[in-house]
Every structure is written in structure tokens, then in C-alpha cells.
Amino acid sequence: MAYGPPPSPGQQPGQPGWQQQPSAWQQQPPPSQPQGRHTAQIPGHFGPVSHDEKSWALMAYVGQFLVGAIAPAVAFLGKGRSPFVRRHAAQGLNMGLAAIAVWLIGGLLSLAVEVMIWVPLGFTAVVMFYLVYGARAANRGEFRRVPAPVAWPIFK
């Protein structure tokens, strides 16, 4: 089936003189890169990132809502060769380990002083905010650093 405008009267498809006209979307070359964005000059940029790498980096953050620090550990060990995934997984793992440590210490301290239970709860709210913050950046193929008090720099 031919696409484009119909042949003029008296011409049949396949005869000499009849040409198929390309549609408007076929005439324009695809853009290679958005105007004004030079990725080579961005510090910490990893170049082109595949959809698979974005998915693994995203799961390092989103998986923590379900299984805690296990999700970024799996991403860190499974796709650690990719610098993009490794950096996101390390940051997610650092946040997960910090949350576990704060809950253990805060839970023990709350046995002595009941008001201390608010410390791990507040820290969990901050960690959830930064999980979404990091996940959005990973989904866009970027890296956003989380502050050190939230993601203790244990893994790099």
C-alpha cells in the first residue's frame, strides 16, 4: 500500500512518472540533541544512558519503599559495572543503611526517652523525600546528590 497523495488522473502506481511523496514527518531529519544542551560539559554526566540503566537506577530508589536496603544492594551488585547505575545504587544503599542505623539507635533511645521516637520518624520522612528526588533524576538520566546527613557516604 502506497502512502502519500493519490496519483494524478491517468497515472497508475508503478508506471514511470509516478512518484510516492513522503509525508511531512519523513522529510525532517530527526534531531540529534536538543538545542542548548551540551552534555559533555556537565560535571558528573555519564554520557548517553540506556533505558535499562535508567530502570536499574530507578529501582535502587523505588525498591526501598518495598524491601528497604535490599533493592539498592541488588542494583549495586547486579549492574555495578555501569557507572550511572553504580552511583545511583550506592547513593540509595547509603540512604537505606543510614535509615536502618537511625531506626536501631532511635528505637533503643526511645526506650529510655519516649520523645526520641520522633527522630527516626522524622528521618524516615526526609529519606522518603530524597528517594523521590533521586528517583526522578535517575529516570531523567541525571544524577542529583543527596546531602551527606541523609545518605551517609559509606559506598561510592
Please write the tens of the pLDDT for every residue from 6-55: 666 666 655 655 555 555 555 555 555 555 444 444 455 567 889 999 99
Question: Residue 111: pLDDT band by 50, 70, 90 thresholds?
Answer: very high
Amino acid making up residue 48? P
Which pTM was predicted? 0.67
Please tell me the distance from the alpha carbon of residue 128 to that of residue 116, in angstroms, as a whole number.
Answer: 19
Chain centroid offset of residue 65 CA: 16
CA dihedral 96, 98, 102, 103 (to 10 degrees): 20
Neighbours of 65 (CB within 10 A): 12
Mean pLDDT of 110-135: 93
Higher pLDDT, 48 or 128: 128
Please tell me the distance from the alpha carbon of residue 38 to that of residue 66, in angstroms, as a whole number.
Answer: 37
Residue 44 Ramachandran class (φ > 0 left, ψ -120 to 50 alpha, else beta): left
Mean pLDDT of 55-74: 92
| Short-list 38, 131, 39, 147, CA closest to 88 | 131
Confidence at residue 151, expressed as pLDDT on a 0 to 100 scale: 85
* Residue 61 near residue 134 (C-beta atoms within 8 A): yes
